[in-house]
């Protein structure tokens, strides 16, 4: 799992890669094929790659080349499950936001349900994180709900991509659902905005790369989306591609509160958190004042307790007033 330049999350996690939908301007496809080496020859090297279905593959271990480098996608952009990546979220101890399967579409109709469920199970093993899922096939969410297989975890975020009002958007009040309207190619109004009442987040973006500037979102399109979001107090996040459209002063970069937090694990809390000796609040040591005790001259001081800033300020005021009274 790697730090990501994606504005929506801290990390990108790709236990499943690849896609069978041939989007002409797909950045992930271009990037993957560029660094996939001769993936047709890779597929001929058995047993490193196991074919488990038509155009479906699995990898037990990372693909190491003769030059001792690793290929992230030795199967090119064909759907592949990387089994060795399932424990990666557990290696990041501080709770972070994670974009899941940025190099493919986990909910594409070609993806076996077992793969999806294994990704959910792996995410459950590291519950300190917020997991962001995004798909062009929100109907798959509905299918999983109907079979009672879509987790209702508070740290799972299910997103639908959309471009115009006719796009399919899944909104459900029992789940953390959101919509990523990117690129915004037309009005997004009418019946579609009724879904905003059940959405927890709205993302807006303009075209980028080779398509940048071909369709510039109109002011009224953006105004309609913002009006619908504001009417339901739904956070709005504008991608950096929108800055040239709305201006830096009008950029909105809002995220749901859980996605703004970095939650430490229990192990880290044991090492890095303490209780305030006055009020008993449990918080990071770096946010508190350490009370030091030097038992005799020449000894190094040792930490004997911690005090939160609020209690320390009150303690200082009380003792300052007491000192003034003693002088009188």
pLDDT at 17 over 60: yes
- Binned at pLDDT 50, 70 and 90, residue 190 comes out as low
Q: Alpha helices of the chain — where are they, by DSSP H?
A: 27-34, 39-44, 88-91, 113-124, 139-146, 219-231, 243-246, 266-272, 309-327
Cα torsion angle, 27, 32, 38, 41, sign: negative
According to the model, what pLDDT value does residue 297 have?
83
Q: CA-CA distance, 206 to 2, in Å (whole number)?
A: 25
- The mean per-residue pLDDT over the stretch 171-197 comes to 80
According to the model, what pLDDT value does residue 148 have?
95
Residue-wise pLDDT for 79-131, tens only, equals: 899 999 999 999 888 889 999 998 889 999 999 999 999 999 999 999 989 99
73 versus 279: the higher-pLDDT residue is 279
Would you mind telling me the total number of residues written for the chain in this entry? Answer: 328
* Run of H or E residues at 156: strand 156-162
Q: CA-CA distance, 136 to 162, in Å (whole number)?
A: 8
203 versus 47: the higher-pLDDT residue is 203
162 versus 192: the higher-pLDDT residue is 162
pLDDT at 270 over 90: no
Report for 15-24, 31-40, 189-198, 207-216: range of highest mean pLDDT: 15-24
pLDDT at 133 over 90: yes
Angle between helices 113-124 and 139-146 (to 10 degrees): 80
What are the distances in angstroms from CA 219 to CA 189, 216, 247?
Answer: 13, 9, 12
- Written as six digits, the tokens of 89 are 């979220």
- Average pLDDT over the chain, rounded to whole? 83
Q: Do residues 13 and 85 touch, judged by C-beta distance below 8 A?
A: yes
Share above pLDDT 90 across residues of the chain, in percent, rounded to a whole number: 36
Residue-wise pLDDT for 209-219, tens only, equals: 666 667 787 88
Q: CA-CA distance, 213 to 318, in Å (whole number)?
A: 63
The structure's pTM equals: 0.76
Q: CA-CA distance, 118 to 78, in Å (whole number)?
A: 19
Residue-wise pLDDT for 223-235, tens only, equals: 888 888 888 889 9
According to the model, what pLDDT value does residue 263 have?
65
Q: Taking CA 230 as the corner, what is the angle to CA 226 and CA 232, rounded to the nearest 5 degrees?
A: 125
Q: How does strand 130-135 pair with strand 97-100? A: parallel
Local structure of residue 68 (DSSP, 8 states): S
According to the model, what pLDDT value does residue 212 have?
67
Q: Do residues 18 and 79 touch, judged by C-beta distance below 8 A?
A: yes
pLDDT at 34 over 80: no
Q: CA-CA distance, 248 to 203, in Å (whole number)?
A: 16
- The mean per-residue pLDDT over the stretch 46-58 comes to 78
What are the distances in angstroms from CA 231 to CA 58, 112, 140, 163, 182?
Answer: 46, 39, 29, 21, 21
- The mean per-residue pLDDT over the stretch 134-140 comes to 93
Q: How does strand 50-53 pair with strand 56-59? A: antiparallel
Judged by DSSP in three states, 269 sits in helix
According to the model, what pLDDT value does residue 139 have?
94
Q: CA-CA distance, 217 to 238, in Å (whole number)?
A: 12
Domain ranges of the chain: 266-327
Q: CA-CA distance, 207 to 242, in Å (whole number)?
A: 9
Question: Residue holding tokens 């792996």?
Answer: 122
According to the model, what pLDDT value does residue 38 have?
58
5 versus 148: the higher-pLDDT residue is 148
Bridge partners for 292 per DSSP: 303
Q: How does strand 11-13 pair with strand 156-162? A: unpaired
């Amino acid at each position: 799992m790697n730090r990501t330049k994606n504005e929506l999350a801290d990390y990108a996690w790709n236990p499943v890669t690849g896609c069978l939908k041939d989007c002409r301007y797909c950045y992930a496809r271009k990037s993957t094929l560029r660094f996939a080496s001769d993936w047709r020859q890779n597929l001929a090297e058995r047993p490193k790659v196991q074919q488990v279905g038509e155009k479906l593959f699995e990898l037990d271990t990372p693909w190491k080349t003769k030059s001792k480098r690793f290929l992230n996608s030795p199967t090119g952009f064909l759907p592949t499950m990387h089994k060795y990546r399932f424990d990666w979220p557990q290696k990041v101890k501080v709770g972070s936001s994670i974009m899941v399967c940025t190099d493919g579409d986990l909910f594409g109709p070609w993806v076996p349900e077992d793969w999806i469920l294994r990704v959910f199970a792996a995410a459950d093993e590291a519950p300190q994180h917020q997991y962001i899922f995004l798909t062009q096939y929100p109907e798959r969410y509905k299918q999983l709900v109907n079979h009672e297989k879509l987790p209702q975890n508070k740290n799972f975020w299910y997103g639908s991509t959309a471009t115009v009002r006719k796009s399919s958007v899944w909104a459900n009040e029992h789940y953390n659902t959101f919509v990523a309207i990117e690129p915004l190619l037309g009005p997004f109004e009418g019946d579609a905005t009724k879904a905003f009442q059940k959405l927890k987040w709205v993302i807006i973006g303009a075209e980028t790369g080779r398509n940048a500037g071909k369709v510039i979102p109109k002011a009224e399109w953006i105004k309609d989306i913002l009006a619908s979001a504001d009417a339901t107090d739904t956070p709005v996040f504008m991608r950096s591609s929108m800055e040239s459209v709305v201006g830096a002063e009008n950029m909105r970069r809002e995220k749901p509160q859980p996605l703004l937090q970095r939650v430490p694990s229990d192990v880290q809390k044991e090492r890095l958190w303490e209780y305030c000796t006055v009020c008993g609040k449990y918080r990071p040591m770096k946010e508190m004042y350490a009370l030091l005790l030097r038992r005799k001259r020449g000894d190094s001081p040792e930490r004997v307790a911690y005090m939160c800033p609020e209690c320390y300020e009150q303690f200082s005021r009380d003792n300052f007033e007491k000192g003034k009274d003693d002088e009188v």
